[in-house]
Amino acid sequence: MRRGFKSVNVMMVALLVLMTAACGDGASKDSRVKNVIVMVPDGFSAAYATNYRNYIGGQASTLDEILVGMAKTRSLDHFITDSAAAASAMATGNKVQNGAISMTADGKALKTVLEGAIEANKATGMVVTSTLSHATPGAFSSHANSRVQELEIAAQLIGKVDVLLGGGKNLYSPEDKKRAEELGYLYLENRDQLLEANHDKLFGLFAGESMTPEIDRDAMTEPSLEEMTNKALEVLAPNKNGFFLLVEGSQIDYAGHVNDAAWAMREIEAFERAVKSALEFAKENGDTLLIIAGDHDTGGMTVGNVDSSYSIDLLHHVKASGAAMIDYWKRQGQDLKEVVHEYAQVELNDDEIRAIEESHYYEATLNQIISDRAGIIWITLYHTGVDVPVYAYGPGSSKLFGVIDNTDIAKVIAQSIGFDLESAEGVE
């Protein structure tokens, strides 16, 4: 019996060593953390991860290789969180009410890990495909009683964050852009300007609102998430005190809200490319902590269903988002059946055409039909409360093993860079 116990103990120790090595944690010397990269695939859950793995042929994704645990996501006032409350928890280590941007219920601003990085004289950056003032980037960088206060959130970013890349041009006036330039930012509006930029402060607004969905994006005019991430790393890395970078794959969530499986897979693919860049940087720089975690699940996507075959390869043939196909039909007057055949390689039958035409939500109905052909069912157009995967690499990453709360992400970051969240009493 004793011999058996010894064998089990040896195996457990070996397993722990392997798990630690896989995350690149080494001796877990938090003092070695110079840079922190937080990447948020908004709306992403285990079902998205499984479908994406199958979508790329069944091989492990870059994310699969650094999975460390799962995170609970509920907000202060609801079992189902929204993006603002989830991001605020990840940024401040505190639960807040749905809709709040790093603010307590009584209107007290909570310090964020990005603000902690600024106090530590680190460079900071945010890269998103939403507007820069949207819920997730807003919660890491700003404070507002409600996420709908995007103009107020947008105004807080200029002069605070060194690299700002994303959408939201319509939220800034010419005076705002002039102020940014006076504060030393290089203002950018397209992909070429981004790729050519050689400056230590960047303010890139590449779309009026959110950037174009990856599945519809003109690669010659709007930069990809990977390109924006690479440029941010290039600009931030020279800072002698290190940096904090937030990267959000914002539109995985958007696709989930309209049940567009093909769009979701393209967004995850774009996000994975950005992850590869960040992970390569972290591996080359042993003082970098990389954390990747979804904020919540969106849509309740399934992986196959009992009543139909699972044919996710079908999604490779879809060349436009459901929104774009509906636009071709409703606004440009093209034949619906021909549009869907051309852009999705799907032959709609009469019942499906009728269902779309009579729907109160054309886009979601079309997307659900295409998803069903691929064997994917959605249970909602909104968020769900399931736990989300957490991925990590680098010093301190072992502290994220197992089932954690989303607030633990902020606490691990704060400890790694020497910022005491517990003593934070808000900001003016």
418, two tokens:
């020497």
Q: Is 393 exposed, middle or buried (0-12, 13-18, 19+ CB in 10 A)?
A: buried
Contact 298, 256 (CB under 8 A): yes
Specify whether 397 is catalytic. Answer: no
∠ Cα 232 137 154 (to 5°) = 100
Sequence-ordered list of residues with C-beta below 8 angstroms from that of 106, at least 6 positions apart, any chain: none
In contact, 194 and 228? CB cutoff 8 Å: yes
On the CB side of 269, CA atoms within 13 Å amount to 16
- Enumerate residues 6+ apart whose C-beta is below 8 A from 17: none
How wide is the angle at C-alpha 167 spanned by C-alphas 162 and 62, nearest 5°? 80
Q: Is 218 helix (H, G, I), strand (E, B) or coil?
A: coil
What is the rounded distance in angstroms from the CA atom of residue 12 to the CA atom of residue 7? 9
Among the listed residues 61, 75, 83, 210, the single catalytic one is 83
Question: CA 3 to CA 9: how far, in whole Å?
Answer: 10
Q: How far is CA 353 from CA 217, 259, 340, 366, 377, in A?
A: 27, 18, 10, 9, 19
For 200, the 3-state DSSP assignment is coil
Tokens (6 digits) for 277: 């860049």
What's the Cα-to-Cα distance from 1 to each of 4, 7, 9, rounded to whole Å?
5, 10, 12
Torsion sign (Cα): 302, 310, 214, 227: positive
Q: Is residue 196 within 8 Å of residue 124, measured between CB atoms?
A: no
Question: Is 355:41 a contact under the CB 8 Å cutoff?
Answer: no
Residues labelled as active-site residues:
83
